[in-house]
Amino acid sequence: MSDGESGGYAGKVTGGGSVTAVTAATAAQMQAAIDAYTGTGGLVVRYTGKFDYSTITDTCAQWQKDAGDIVEIKNKGNVTIEGAAGSAANFGLAIKGAATNVIIRNMTIGLLPGSIDAIGIEGQGGQFPGYIWVDHNTLFSSTKDCAGAGDLEFDGLIDSKAGAHHITYSYNHIHDHQKVGLIGSSDSDSSDRFITFHHNVYQNVKARLPLQRGGYTHLYNNLYTGVLTSGINVRMGGYSLIEGNYFENAQNPITSRDSTAIGFWQLRNNNVKSPADFAQYGITWVASESSPTRDANDWVSTATFPVSITYTHTVQDAACVKQKLAAVAGAGKALATMSCS
């Protein structure tokens, strides 16, 4: 990937381009820089703040706090938010309304106070954010079950809702979290959005990799290692092209459950080729109590992906994903990409 090419449905995303970066050490300073920006000429905000996650000794007490800070990029375009080397944040980022051509990269965001998204992309007022690239971030919380939390404990890490479209998530390290990412906030939020997930590492996570309602996703060259409940959950007539990924120690890695209609997938060149491979890679299945439901426990495609891939990309061998992806995914990796040559 170079020159702003996201390798996904976001296409070429330049963000703030080459304008001089504004430095922000706090959420308030970052918000002030965004608020002062006219919204068209280009803005780069370099976050230099630090947060010591080891100071959070009780993750359940952290979740029970009031909702923490959320920095909003709303109805503005050509914005880059980038973490400086060694930075770490304890606040969320929200991309809203008509925001477009936005890059979020090299941010470390973890253990947010209250139930808020780490990175949330959401339409508002009939305006829909799009052409957004979320690249080389490290996002996490905890998989500890907190009493009384139910479905609210540590909300999403990468959620796309209410018409958000043309998004690429790439080279992120997502770990130790319960509900990673949904596409569509309810079964009625199922528009024809286009989202790509490539070269992401999902490690020790419970579910929503993603939870997809409607629309079209292309998932290639991701590493799923330690999926505790369910993985790719395609629902409400959505379609997913799932290729060149590596699955290991994963329960229900590909499924359609918990909605009023199922979704569909096409499987291509993943490390798992057939049910005969399940034992080798630690793939297990637990049936859903919901109806309708469909699991990939026969490991066959349920549909042909019906739309074109509109961007240039190379699907690398799944074995290379296992061997090399972790070394280049996440923040602090100098935006390195995976080479299999």
Determine phi and psi for 255, rounding to 5 degrees. -155, 170
One of 46, 105, 193, 208 is an active-site residue; which one?
Answer: 208
Q: What angle do CA 305, 210, 316 make, to 5 degrees?
A: 60
105 is catalytic: no
Burial of 64 (0-12, 13-18, 19+ CB in 10 A): middle
Q: What angle do CA 272, 278, 282 make, to 5 degrees?
A: 105
Residues with catalytic function: 208
